[in-house]
Amino acid sequence: MAKRVSHRDSMCGVARPLDAIGDWWSLLIVRDAFDGLRRFGEFQKSLGLAKNILSARLRNLLAHGIMETVPAADGSAYQEYVLTEKGRGLFPLLVALRQWGEDFFFEPDEAHVLLVDRKNGLPVRRLELRAQDGRVVGAEDTMVRLPQASHENGSA
Amino acid sequence: MAKRVSHRDSMCGVARPLDAIGDWWSLLIVRDAFDGLRRFGEFQKSLGLAKNILSARLRNLLAHGIMETVPAADGSAYQEYVLTEKGRGLFPLLVALRQWGEDFFFEPDEAHVLLVDRKNGLPVRRLELRAQDGRVVGAEDTMVRLPQASHENGSA
DNA sequence: CTCGAATGGTTTTAATTTGAAACCATCCTG
DNA sequence: CAGGATGGTTTCAAATTAAAACCATTCGAG
């Protein structure tokens, strides 16, 4: 399941998560789970993927602790798939993905679903990254710093 | 290159972006691009992937307008790959991925790279989603609303 | 309780993708 | 202009994905 690690034994903070959710379907499953879907058949109908693939993806999400199975919900003997805390931690990422999609994958006049505040129905704000002092910072205002190495710089 | 669309002709705001960057390598390439890498060989050395794969990924990123080739930089006749505005728009997503990775894929004491403010070297804040009124909202505080349909609800 | 259908998968097999390595063209360097 | 560096493409094997058939359990009706 895990892709081979790229020439380094320990993966960086970006690559490591990608091992868990770095395929087309996993994030869509997680999104559907945020939307309240819980049953195997619900995911399959919503996403339209082959059952063996869904099975494999769910197994992978379970193995990574992103989802878990819970005994029932409507009393039946079936099980349901729900997000763990780790899985719910993906919410900002999904929002970022959605906002990027809205910005660049839809025509200006093209209708698309909107993420809205449940309290008042207003669209949510744009995700913003802020520095400690509260400034909104973009990519050009940030850099990555290596753990504790005395090396000068690097990706990873 | 594009995966088959899942039983609906028009993809949702989450699925559509995944068609462009929904594979393991593309986001890592984009991340390296944010880190300043520009040349084919730089990406290949950094990521350790096969050259044909890198070639295909770069072609896909170019086709989606996420990166573009620019004639030179050091005067040589080679070309370089740089992020477009659309590509730079992926910054919040990468930050979200990184923060999620830091939260759940590293031991508490495990060293990892830090995204810091370039001005003062302090770590950036956590990404937060806010409602129009400024409240920080989580997944449970939001819902998706369909474009203009009179239907009650739905994913997508 | 029993039958049929719905649910939740697994197995089988084919098609697509990925990856490693070899190969090749262009470019820069001396 | 010779040799190496750069930036790919081609070839072929291995792994992954996908569709479809199959199967076991569970639920719902009579």
The three-state DSSP-derived secondary structure of B25-79 is HHHHHHHHHHCCCCCHHHHHHHHCCCHHHHHHHHHHHHHCCCEEEECCCCCCCCC
Separation in Å, CA B125 to CA A12, B31, B96: 19, 19, 11
Tell me the angle at which helices A91-104 and A24-34 cross, rounded to the nearest 10 degrees.
110
More confident residue, B145 or B9: B145
The more confidently predicted of residues B124 and A148 is B124
In this complex, the answer to whether residue B39 has its CB under 7 A from any atom of chain D, a nucleic strand, is yes
B75-88 mean pLDDT: 97
With a cut of 80, say whether residue B48 has pLDDT above it. Answer: yes
Mean pLDDT along residues B56-84? 95
Residue A142: CB atoms within 10 A of its CB come to 21
Helix (H, G, I), strand (E, B) or coil at A45: helix
Nearest CB to B129 within list A23, A47, A92: A92
Question: Residue A154's pLDDT is what?
Answer: 40
Collect all residues of chain A within an 8 Å Cβ-Cβ radius of residue B95: 96, 129
pLDDT at B55 (0 to 100): 98
What is the per-residue pLDDT for A30?
98
Where does residue B142 rank: exposed (0-12), middle (13-18), buried (19+ CB within 10 A)?
Answer: buried
Q: What span, in angstroms and rounded, lies between the C-alpha atoms of A127 and B136? A: 11
Residue A19 pLDDT level (bands cut at 50, 70, 90): confident
Residues B4-19 pLDDT 10s: 444 444 578 889 999 8
Q: What is the mean pLDDT of chain B?
A: 89
Task: Write down the pLDDT at residue A10.
Answer: 58
Residue A6, pLDDT > 60, answer no
The reported pLDDT for the residue numbered A4 is 45
- pLDDT of the residue at A11: 76
Q: Which of residues 50-79 of A touch strand D (CB under 7 A)?
A: 50-53, 56, 76-78
CA of B60, C1' of C28: distance in angstroms: 29
Assigned architecture for domain A15-141: Orthogonal Bundle (1.10)
Tokens of B86: 């659309």
Closest CA to B89 of B150, B152, B39, B33: B33
Over range A70-96, report the average pLDDT.
95
pLDDT band at B73 (very low <50, low <70, confident <90, very high): confident
| Average pLDDT rounded to a whole number, residues B119-148 | 95
pLDDT band at B88 (very low <50, low <70, confident <90, very high): very high
Q: What is the mean pLDDT of residues A123-145?
A: 97
User: What's the pLDDT score for residue A98?
Assistant: 96
